[in-house]
């Protein structure tokens, strides 16, 4: 057992004892050289004195090295701290040597041990230079010779400032790194042509496919701090045009303990190229709103619902009830919350359409706030399964809304979608009907009902970006329904933050929308994702146009006809000023819709189009209903006019 321990730990200690031996040897050589320099580069000194003094100097130096631990550092990673330790060791050795000389001069313990003070000073300088030089030489040999055989890719660093230099150090100091920095790129004329860490700074204008292929560049790392977000995005967009991987260094505040690690340099994601500014939430107000609240989240295991739960879990609430019918997803969320130290929550497997069961949960837990995120959201699926879409998105929402009023819930926040605006599909129409029902019950002033609308959520289940990633992994092609189709995007955390902020702002009856910047062309999104993968379009991966799916439209909207917006205290969040509705008739028609759907009545879809006059189907079998509505009785036309007024 002892033998195995010694063998397994021998490599750990062998290197540092070797370093100590080399340091002691260099110190001894430096002492001899100090004598030679002191006597004008001649040997006109008493060699017998040197042979007496040298062992004592060596012993003193060894003691100083052992005390300061200067020999323990990994030589190939020598840095400023290691140099500082060497300086301390040499100073300590010199002080001890002078002290011994002075004591010996007074008491004469050792014959011929009188070292001139000049030699001690010269020896200190020589030894310090020798030890640092030895480490530098070894480090250089290691990276330039040993690691030369490991290099598998050449790298360009875009940015020759402090961040770029730290990026170089992070790459070269990583033992497992197989990268070699070929050059820095910069647009500062003062830096062009200079050499930093042995690497030339080149003008960014040299960047071309010919230059990249000639130098065999595999990666470009963007390392610029204190740069405007728009400029950084434009720079990255220009770089992804080249057939190389583009990586980006995170902001300084994200560095671990103030130091950049090579593992933090991440490949640019498509989210980094979206033309939008992240939302900034006033967390203090959210904290005040959620404090001591009993909160119920429906659809709590879904993309949006689970993120709402994660964010709520960080606040000082009283109790958190998470309801979802997806057992596996709810279990995963439960385990995640427990692992992160959150335990004050209750996961419930349940269906919001089951009114009796939901009523039991309301009676038992008495929620004071409800975040309603449960819904069916996939447009083509819901077009073919409209019964389920109405049952969950309309009837399910109606159930939770009615229970919230009956149990005197203070605030109810509904997660809607931009597809509810001038809907062209069943899913969007059901969400719009849910919005209308919420507006109608708001008139009773029992609960403050608040609605949020936003566009596509990056990375959510079934969204386009995860689909494109899977298609790229399989070698393509990427499928786009139309070359001109556009969508608005936001991240899951931002969408969830918007919902929480709406809970703070809302006083009842509002529909909040988020200023999501410019809409994104999906075809361009697909091309950028191919480029970010280091591949070429269409040579490596092609894009296939499949045609619009049932219910899908080219351009999403955030406002319907006749709707305007009002500002809030947050410049990125607006209140939709909706047109007035005949709330009694709306509520009556929605009740009729739910009953009709329950009994599979064939007039269900026609009734939906009466409730939402702006619902005009697109590329769907329900388009024929739009044509027939105009040919129906005068009563139908009259109803439609009432809803449009």
Predicted local confidence at residue 586, as pLDDT: 86
pLDDT at 456 over 60: yes
CA dihedral 316, 321, 323, 326 (to 10 degrees): 70
Q: What percent of the chain lies above the pLDDT cut of 90?
A: 22
Angle at 412 between CA 363 and CA 415, to 5 degrees: 125
Q: Is 328 exposed, middle or buried (0-12, 13-18, 19+ CB in 10 A)?
A: exposed
| pLDDT at residue 214 in the model | 87
Give the CA count within 13 Å in the CB-facing half-sphere of 607.
Answer: 22
Q: Are residues 239 and 187 in the same domain?
A: yes
Catalytic-labelled residue, pool 377, 411, 419, 553: 419
> What was the pLDDT predicted at 11?
45
Is 619 part of any domain?
no
403 with 299, same domain: the answer is: yes
* Judgement on whether residues 100 and 231 belong to the same structural domain of the protein: no
314 three-state secondary structure: coil
Structural domain contains residue 275: no
Q: Is residue 465 part of a domain?
A: no
Asked if residue 170 and residue 100 are part of one domain, the reply reads no
Q: What pLDDT, on a 0 to 100 scale, did the predictor assign at position 4?
A: 47
What is the mean pLDDT of the segment spanning 114-122? 80
Domain annotation covers residue 476: no
> Mind listing the pLDDT tens digit for each residue in 173-211?
765 667 788 899 988 888 898 988 888 999 888 888 888
The pTM of the whole model exceeds 0.85 = no
So what's the pLDDT on residue 259? 66
Whether the CB-CB separation of 349 and 324 falls below 8 Å is answered with yes
Residue 623 lies in a domain: no
* H/E run at residue 322: strand 319-324
The number of beta carbons lying within 10 Å of the beta carbon of residue 386 is 20
Classify the C-alpha dihedral 177-179-183-185 as positive or negative.
negative
| Angle, helices 634-644/583-598, rounded to nearest 10 degrees | 120
Does a structural domain hold residue 583? Answer: yes
What residues make up the domain containing 252?
A: 151-268
In this prediction, residue 229 has a pLDDT band, given cuts at 50, 70 and 90, of low
The C-alpha atoms of residue 627 and residue 604 are separated, in whole angstroms, by 16
Q: Which two tokens stand for residue 402?
A: 């009615």
Domain count, the chain: 3
In a domain, 540, yes or no: no
Q: What is the CATH number of the domain that holds 183?
A: 3.40.50.720
Q: Do residues 429 and 498 share a domain?
A: yes
- Which structure tokens are listed for 594? 């739910």
113 with 171, same domain: the answer is no
Three-state DSSP string of 292-303: CCEEEEECCCCH
Domain finish residue from 128, 145, 162: 145
Residues 156 and 136 in one domain: no
Is 437 domain-assigned?
yes
Determine whether 544 is an active site residue: no
Of 243, 268, 293, which marks where a domain is finished? 268
Determine contact, residues 302/377, Cβ cutoff 8 Å. Answer: no
């Amino acid at each position: 057992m002892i033998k195995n321990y010694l063998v397994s730990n021998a490599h750990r200690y062998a290197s540092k004892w070797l370093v100590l031996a080399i340091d002691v040897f260099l110190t001894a050589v430096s002492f001899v050289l100090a004598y030679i320099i002191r006597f004008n580069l001649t040997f006109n000194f008493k060699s017998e004195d040197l042979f007496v003094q040298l062992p004592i100097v060596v012993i003193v130096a060894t003691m100083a090295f052992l005390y300061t631990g200067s020999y323990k550092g990994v030589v190939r990673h020598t840095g400023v701290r290691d140099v500082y330790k060497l300086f301390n060791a040499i100073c300590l050795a010199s002080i001890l040597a002078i002290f011994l000389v002075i004591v010996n001069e007074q008491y004469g313990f050792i014959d011929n041990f009188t070292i001139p003070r000049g030699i001690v000073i010269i020896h200190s300088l020589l030894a310090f230079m020798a030890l640092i030089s030895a480490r530098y030489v070894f480090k250089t040999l290691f990276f330039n010779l040993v690691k030369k055989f490991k290099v598998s890719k050449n790298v360009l660093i875009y940015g020759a400032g402090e961040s770029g230099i730290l990026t170089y150090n992070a790459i070269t100091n990583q033992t497992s790194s197989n990268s070699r920095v070929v050059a820095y790129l910069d647009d500062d004329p003062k830096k062009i042509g200079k050499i930093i860490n042995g690497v030339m700074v080149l003008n960014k204008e040299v960047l071309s496919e010919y230059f990249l292929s000639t130098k065999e560049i595999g990666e470009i790392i963007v390392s610029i701090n204190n740069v405007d977000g728009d400029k950084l995005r434009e720079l990255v967009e220009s770089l992804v045009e080249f057939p190389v991987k583009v990586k980006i260094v995170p902001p300084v505040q994200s560095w671990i303990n103030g130091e950049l690690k090579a593992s933090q340099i991440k490949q640019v994601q498509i989210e980094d190229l979206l033309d939008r500014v992240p939302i900034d939430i006033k967390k203090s107000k959210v904290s005040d709103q959620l404090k001591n609240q009993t909160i119920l989240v429906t659809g709590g295991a879904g993309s949006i619902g689970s993120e709402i739960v994660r964010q709520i879990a960080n606040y000082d609430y009283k109790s958190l009830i998470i309801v979802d019918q997806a057992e596996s997803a709810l279990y995963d969320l439960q385990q995640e919350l427990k692992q992160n130290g959150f335990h004050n929550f209750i996961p419930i497997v349940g269906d919001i359409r089951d009114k009796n069961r939901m009523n039991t949960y309301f009676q038992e837990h008495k929620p004071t706030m409800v975040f309603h995120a449960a819904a069916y959201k996939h447009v083509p699926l819901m077009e073919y399964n409209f019964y389920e879409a109405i049952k969950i998105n309309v009837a399910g929402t109606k159930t939770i809304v009615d229970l919230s009023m009956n149990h005197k819930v203070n605030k109810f926040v509904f997660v809607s979608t931009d597809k509810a605006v001038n809907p062209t599909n069943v899913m969007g129409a059901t969400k719009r009907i849910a919005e209308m029902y919420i507006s109608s019950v708001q008139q009773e002033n029992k609960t403050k009902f608040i609605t949020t609308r936003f566009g596509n959520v990056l990375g959510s289940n079934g969204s386009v970006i995860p689909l494109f990633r899977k298609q790229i992994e399989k070698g393509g092609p990427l499928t786009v329904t139309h070359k001109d189709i556009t969508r608005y995007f936001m991240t899951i955390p931002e969408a969830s933050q918007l919902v929480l902020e709406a809970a703070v702002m809302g006083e009842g009856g509002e529909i909040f929308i988020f200023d999501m910047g410019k809409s994104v062309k999906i075809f361009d999104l697909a091309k950028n994702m191919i480029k970010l993968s280091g591949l070429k379009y269409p040579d490596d991966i092609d894009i296939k146009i499949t045609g619009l799916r049932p219910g899908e439209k080219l351009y999403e909207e955030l406002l319907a006809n006749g709707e305007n917006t009002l500002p809030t205290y947050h410049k990125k969040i607006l209140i939709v000023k909706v047109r007035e509705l005949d709330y009694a008739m709306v509520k009556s028609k929605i009740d009729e819709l739910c009953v009709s759907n329950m009994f599979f009545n064939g007039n269900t879809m026609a009734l939906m189009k009466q409730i939402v006059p702006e619902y005009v189907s697109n590329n769907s079998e329900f388009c024929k209903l739009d044509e027939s509505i105009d040919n129906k009785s005068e009563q139908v036309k009259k109803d439609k006019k009432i809803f449009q007024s």
